[in-house]
Amino acid sequence: MNDLTRIDAGNHEVIVSDGLATALRDVFIKEQDPSGPYLVLVDEHTHQHCFRRLFELQGVMYHPLVIGAGESSKKLETVERICQIMMERKANRQTLLVNLGGGVVSDIGGMVASVFMRGIRYVNVPTSLLAMTDAAIGGKTGVDLHGYKNILGTFHPPLKTIVHPGFLKSLPEKQWKEGLVETWKHALIGDGSLWQKLIRDPISFDYEHRSNRKTSDWITQSISVKGRIVQQDPLEKGVRKHLNFGHTVAHALEAWSYNHDDYIMTHGQAVAIGLVCEAYVSQKLLGLEIQVVEELKSLVKTNLPALKINPESFTFLLSAMRKDKKSDGHGLNCVLLEQVGAPQFCMDLSDEHFLESFTYFNDF
């Protein structure tokens, strides 16, 4: 069970291993005096559920730096506070920071590593499905500013990302589903065989099966899609934009939900709706098979709570999509699919098919 898979993500490597100690040894022994000390950034949950698992690699000294769990920690004050504690602990330019947690921990820890003493090395050890397949790969770091997500950030790749699916045992089901949606996206933009697995063998992706051997296999496939894209375009000047499939609509939905609803739509739910809408527009404009759109809609229906797009939001959504961070500020730009595995960045699209797609989504 100690297999170790290596995935090249361009400026760093991702290791997927069921044997945590083997994977840690692979990095730590080669990179630094194992007597450390290693500063480990955790949030309160990963401190409780995951931190002690690091001790499977014996003889290494770990010191936890604990932050509050959740998106609200993603702010500059947290970066400053961590840097201050690191100075008190006599961290220096040789220090290796370990980010043990979900995407919030890897985004903040990556940012700390990029600015502390003008940049130190760090290793991501993701513990949520979303961080394993997405956030902890590719070297984008960041924090939020006054409610605007990831407005402050850097490109600073980790030395390695170590993915140990065993951490998923303690992950709550809600977080599992959040991560699964990004794997649907990876399958659609870059891996037809993963898409077929999702459709033909949905049981393998159930929360109850998160510790199965098969889980490591599809997680590896999902990581490979992101790794391949990041490798081609580390600074998001071209093909990396394909990772934004589903997100043009999703970001607009999140903005509406943030401003109008008591209930804030989660990122995963917004992306799930966005994938269906953008697949629908892909069918209209680029000839994506309608069967794919229907399969996707049914995945969303069976895996997520009943979701609807508020008809009062339609006009707001279209205008927000024109202002998306990934857009140029004028036309409506969006990644669409010609077929599974063949995304395209399309510019200056008209509203018409997006409007239809909102109704199509609501019409379950």
Q: Could you list the residues that contact ligand NAD (CB under 6 A)? A: 43, 45-46, 49-50, 69-71, 74, 101-105, 107, 127-128, 130-131, 134-135, 138, 140, 149-150, 167, 170-171, 175, 178
- Of 223 and 318, nearer to ligand NAD (C-beta) is 223
Beta partners for residue 143, in sequence order: 152
- Of 133 and 282, nearer to ligand NAD (C-beta) is 133
Whether omega before 34 lies within 30 degrees of 0, making that bond cis, reads no
CB of 326 to ligand NAD, least distance (A): 13
C-alpha dihedral sign at 236, 241, 242, 246:
positive
Tokens 């991702």 identify what position?
14
CB of 260 to ligand NAD, least distance (A): 21
- Of 142 and 343, nearer to ligand NAD (C-beta) is 142
Coil, helix or strand for 364? Answer: coil
CB of 324 to ligand NAD, least distance (A): 15
CB of 111 to ligand NAD, least distance (A): 10
- Of 166 and 349, nearer to ligand NAD (C-beta) is 166
**Cα-trace Rg, the chain:** 20
Closest listed residue to residue 168, CA positions, set 117, 198, 126, 230: 126
CB of 315 to ligand NAD, least distance (A): 27
- Of 246 and 354, nearer to ligand NAD (C-beta) is 246
- Of 102 and 246, nearer to ligand NAD (C-beta) is 102
What is the per-residue burial (b if ≥16 Cβ within 10 Å, else e) of 4-31? ebebebbebbbbbbbbbbbbbbbbbeee
C-alpha distance from residue 359 to each of 8, 281, 285, 303, 356 (Å)? 41, 12, 17, 20, 5
CB of 106 to ligand NAD, least distance (A): 7
- Of 285 and 307, nearer to ligand NAD (C-beta) is 307
Which residues have CB under 8 Å from 334's CB, separation 6+?
A: 248, 249, 278, 281, 321, 345, 346, 349
Closest listed residue to residue 80, CA positions, set 116, 104, 39, 31: 116
- Of 149 and 297, nearer to ligand NAD (C-beta) is 149
CB of 272 to ligand NAD, least distance (A): 14
CB of 300 to ligand NAD, least distance (A): 18
Structure tokens at 257: 């939900």
Residue nearest to ligand NAD (CB): 103
Coil, helix or strand for 58? Answer: coil
Cα–Cα distance for residue pair 201/193, rounded to 1 Å? 12
